[in-house]
Structure formats: C-alpha cells, structure tokens
Structure 1
Amino acid sequence: MSEALILAFLFFMGCIVGWGIEVIFRRFKKENVSRKWVNPGFLVGPYLPLYGFGLCGLYLLASLENTSLIEEVTAGSKIVLFLIMAIVMTLFEYIAGLIFIKGMHVQLWDYSKEKFNIQGIICLKFSIFWAILGAIYYFLIHPHILNALQWLSHNLQFSFFIGAFFGVFMVDVVYSLNIVTKVRAFAKEKQILVKYEELRAQIRENAEQQREKLHWFLRFKSGTPLKEHLLKYAELNASDIKDFVRNNSVK
C-alpha cells in the first residue's frame, strides 16, 4: 500500500475524530455558559485539518521506533518522543494560526488570556495537552491505527470513500475560503483583526434575537448580510481590536 494512501487515510481519520474532540471540548468550556454545541473551525463540514495533519505527524513520529534512528526503546526515549510530538503539534498550531492572522486578518482561536502564550496563538497549557495527547496516541491509539492500516490494505475498495471525502473537503475549502476572503477584505479595509469565534457567536446571537433559523453548519448564512454583521462586530469590539492590532502589528 502506498505511503500517499496511508497518509490520506490518516488525514481523513484525524480530521473527523479531531472535529468530534473539539465539539465536545467547546461544549463544556467554562466560557460556554449556556452549554451550546459549537461547530469548530473555519470549514463548514465535520472535519478539522489541523488534527488531520496532526495525526499524520504523530503516526510518522511513532513509526520512528521501527527505524534505525532509534536503536533501543527506553523510558527516556519515549519521553523525548512525547516532547517532540508536543513540539510538532504546537508548531502545526502556530503556523496555521499565523497564516490566518497575517494572511487573512482572521484569528481562529485566542489564547491571549492563557499564561505563557505567544501572540495568542499557542500557549504552554495546550502544548502540555499535545504532549498528553501524544502519549495517549502512542499507548492507546497507534496499535489500532496499525490494525486499521492492515485492514485497509486488504480492503482497498474503502479508498473510494477516502476519495469522496477529499472531494467534499475541497468543495468545502473553496466555499469557506470565499467567506474568509470577504472577511479579510473588510478587515483589511478597516485595519482590524476579526476573531472568528466571536463573529460567529455574534451572528448566532443576532439570529436568536430576530428568531431566524440559523443552520448549524452554514453558520454565516442568515437573513442579515455578512457586511452588516462585520460592521456590528467592529463597532462592538473596537477597543479590543485596537489593542490587538497595536500589540501584534497586523497590517
């Protein structure tokens, strides 16, 4: 079985499982007082690319034990491996966050209130979380991943569903980037940074006030034009936006 198919399969699994993890996590966040279900990420569908890339990275790192790079597996080598996993996942998170902030004037998540954070994109708490997740993956998930890959090698017809996933995924990427591009144009014009979660929460709250039916997946599709939501967002968050732009030099 080709390495490309293996990574495509892992990306597919990671995107969907990661989305489920984030949905549950956001459901019980202390900031979510009303305990509402929140569709995470900037895409419409039930998948998060960050976790897809993350699972591919964890798989490749865990597989190093089967190479000549690691002569003997010890407790120390495992700890080093978990630290490397945490660093890699944190790096994925930082690059993704930085691309959206610098390139799109959009902040998908905000760790600015967490201790030991860098630009509100990464922080120590979630780097520790990635290390724990790496350990969980190594001991509990990796053996099942190997079994799943073994199963896939004998059931290659399942690759049709992987292909279908990527087809839907790419359509979603185009659709979602179209929305982000509109947000970017507004943010660039006003020289502001738009916090995606806050904007979506505002749209949801506005829909509830006007008793509009807002689709859980199509979060930006409402009776009110996106431009109006953005103008209201800029007005309500003027002071926070100015502070963030000044501190992070977003241009």
Structure 2
Amino acid sequence: MNEFLLFAFLFFIGSCLGWCMELLFRRFVSKNNPRRNWINPGFLAGPYLPLYGFGLWGMYEVSHVIKLLVTGNIFIDVFIIFLIMAIIMTIIEFIAGLIFVKGMNVKLWDYSGEKFNIKGVICLKFTVIWGVLGSVYYFTINTRVENWVDWLSAHLTFSFFIGLFFGVFLVDLCYTLQLSVKIRKFAVDNQFIVKYEELKHFISEQRKELKEKGSFILAFKTDKPFKENLERYLERSIETGKKKFEEAKKDMKTKMKSRENKR
C-alpha cells in the first residue's frame, strides 16, 4: 500500500479515537474539571487530536521493529515494549509541545505542577502512562489495526472518506491557525505564555457569568471581542500568580517558624 495513504488512514483513526478518549478523560477523571462539564479537548475545533494520529502511526511502525526484538521471555518482552512505546510517545509529545511553546507562545497542556517535568511539556508520570497505553495497544489493539490496514488495501474506495476527513481537517486547521496568530501576538506583546486549556475554561466561565449561549465546538466564540477576553484572561492570570506567590511565602514562613521552634 502507498505509504502516504497508510499514514493518512492511521492518522485519521488515531486522531478520532484519541479525541474520544480525551473527551471521556476530561469529563470523568480530570482534576482540572471539578464541575464535570463536557469539554472539547485539543487545539482544533473538530473531533480529532493530531497528537494521537501521529502516535498511532508511530506505534504501528514501531510494532514491526518490536517483533524483531521479542525474546520469548514475557517479563523481558513487556519491559522492552513498555520502554520503546514510552520513549516514542514522549518524543512525539515533546516535539508537539515545543512547537507550540516556542512557535506560538501557547501551552496546549501544562505539566509544570508534576514532578520530574521538562519545561512543563513532558514529565515522568505521563511518560509512564504513555508506556502503559503503548503496551496495552501492542498486546490488544495492534493486531486489529493491522487487520484494518489489510481491509483498506482491499477497499481503496474508502480513501474517499479519508480525503473528506482531511478536507474538513485542513479547513479547521486554517481557522484555528488564524485564531492562534491573534493569541501569539497578544502573548508576545505581553511577554507571557498562554495556557490553551486554561484559556478555554476562562472563556467558558465568562460565558456563564454573562449568560451567553455556550459552544462545544467553537470554544473561543463569545459576544465580546476576542482581544477583550485575552486581556481579562491575562489580568486573572496575574492575580492568580500573585496569590500563589503570597501563599508560597506564607508556607515558607510557617516552615521556618516550625524549624526554629524545634530548635
């Protein structure tokens, strides 16, 4: 099969399945969503996450290499698969995160609060999670993905739907990049990095306060100018930063006093 078509097919499946997984995670598990609202995850408006598209393609390709490395010892094989999948997915996540942080002054996700993180883009906790998910993929899903690829080889007319998907995807990408240019300009002018998910939550809260009609797909659409929302978001970020700084100072003083009392 044509390699580009193979990539497009896996990207299509991975992006859509990844979006569904993130949607459920944010609704039922994420600590950043205490109200348990339905939140459209990711950078784009539509139901797809490119990170997972690249991830599925990467895991599919790596699975062929893994088959050459298996030893027959289940414990060694699980460790090899876990390690390789964790490294591959962490590299993909790191590259994607840096592209947005360096190129657009935007953080699509933020691991700054996690231990052993690098630039808040990757961290040990999620590297382990990627390794677990990659191992689960290899042992339970990879065979099915290979069957899907074989099915596509015998039904190339399905490539029409893949082309349709990419048509919608490119329109969505153009719309989102236009929005990102505005976010980047504002972030550069004010010398700070916008946390994408945090901005989404902020605008959602603003809608509720003003009793505006919400939009699951167009998360940044409000009755007010977008720049005004960015300015308010910046003000709240500064206030939140000051509060955290004051709380950290109080905690430090409390710890110092307790140490002095022990002496």
> TM exceeds 0.5?
yes
The aligned residue for residue 36 of structure 1 is: 37
In the TM superposition, 1:162-177 aligns within 5 A as 162-177=162-177
Q: Which residue of 2 aligns with 1:138?
A: 138
Contact 2:26 2:39 in 1 (8 A): yes
Please name the residue that 1:192 is paired with.
192
Q: Is the 8 A contact 1:12 1:162 kept in 2?
A: yes
Which ranges of 4 or more aligned residues in structure 1 deviate by more than 3 Å?
69-75, 239-242
Residue by residue, what CA displacement relative to the aligned partner does 1:39-79 show, whole Å, maximum 9, x if unpaired?
A: 1111010000000000000000101245xx54855432442
Distance 1:211 1:71 in 2: 58
Aligned partner of 2:255 in structure 1 is none
Partners of 1:61 and 1:81 within 8 A in 2 = no
* 1:150 equivalent in structure 2: 150
Q: What letter corresponds to residue 52 of structure 1 in structure 2? A: G
- Distance change (3 Å), C-alpha of 1:71 and 1:233: closer
Q: Which consecutive unaligned segments of at least 5 residues does structure 2 have?
A: 243-263
Give the Cα–Cα distance (whole angstroms) in 2 for the partners of residues 176 and 73 of structure 1. Answer: 47
Q: 1:71 to 1:39 in 2, by over 3 A?
A: closer
The Cα shift of 1:146 comes to 1.0
Q: Partners of 2:72 and 2:57 in 1: how far apart?
A: 21
Per the alignment, residue 246 of structure 1 pairs with none
3-state DSSP of counterpart to 2:212: coil
1:207 alignment partner in structure 2 = 207
CA distance in 1, matches of 2:70, 2:208: 60
Distance 1:43 1:73 in 2: 43
SS in 1 for 2:65: helix
Question: CA 1:71 to 1:224, structure 2 compared with 1: closer, same or farther past 3 Å?
Answer: closer
Q: Tell me, what secondary structure is at the counterpart of 2:217?
A: coil
Q: State the superposition RMSD in angstroms.
A: 1.8
* Structure whose residues are more often helix by fraction: 2
Q: Does 1:58 align with 2:59?
A: yes
Residue 248 of structure 1 corresponds to none
- CA displacement at 1:101 relative to structure 2: 0.9
Residues 19 and 47 in structure 1, CA contact (< 8 A), matched pair in contact too: yes
**Within 1, Cα distance between the matches of 2:188 and 2:33?**
29
- Inter-partner Cα distance in structure 2 for 1:189 and 1:13: 38
Q: Which amino acid aligns with 1:86?
A: A
Gaps (5+ residues) in structure 1?
243-251
Tell me if structure 1 keeps the 8 A contact 2:106–2:196.
Answer: yes
Aligned position for 1:82: 82
> Which moved further from structure 2: 9-18 or 118-127?
118-127
TM-score by length of 2: 0.87
Distance 1:90 1:144 in 2: 24
**Rg larger in 1 or in 2?**
2
Aligned length: 241
Inter-partner Cα distance in structure 2 for 1:189 and 1:72: 55
Q: Which residue of 2 aligns with 1:5?
A: 5
Instruction: Provide the C-alpha distance between the structure 2 equivalents of 1:63 and 1:131, rounded to a whole number of angstroms.
Output: 17
SS at match of 2:110: coil
SS of the equivalent of 1:166 reads: helix
Q: Is the 8 A contact 2:14 2:54 kept in 1?
A: yes
Task: Measure, in 2, the Cα distance between the counterparts of 1:85 and 1:168.
Answer: 30
* 2:24 paired residue number: 24
Contact 2:70 2:77 in 1 (8 A): no
In the alignment, is residue 46 of structure 1 matched against residue 47 of structure 2? yes
State the shift of 1:82 in Å: 2.2
| Aligned match of 1:129 | 129
